Amino acid sequence: MKGTQRRLVCPQCGKGFFAWRPDELPGAQVKCYFCGHQFADEAAQRKPAEAAPAVAPAPEAPPAAEPAKPS
């Protein structure tokens, strides 16, 4: 499972700590290492991202012309 280390601040005790956050579960509950308070990380409070518009595939380049053979 992919993820990253994030710096979080506990809303109850105010202490900062680093926690590993999985990319697949944004907004999962976090437990403060110092006071044990559980809270949702900042990803839970963000609005979901809108779907990006589909990008049309680039047109294929025409085949390169072969150099003329000397006779």
Residue 18 lies inside a defined structural domain of this protein? yes
Instruction: Tell me whether residue 67 is in a domain.
Output: no
The answer as to whether 58 is a domain residue is no
Q: Could you tell me the CA-to-CA distances from 64 to 16, 61, 67, 70, 71 in Å, in that order?
A: 59, 8, 9, 18, 21
Residue 52 maps to a domain:
no
Record the pTM: 0.53
Beta-bridge mates of residue 3: 22
Full residue range of the structural domain in which residue 22 is found: 3-44
**pLDDT tens string 12-68:** 999 999 988 887 777 778 899 999 999 987 766 556 555 555 666 666 766 666 666
Strand pairing partners for 20?
5
Domain for residue 10, yes or no? yes
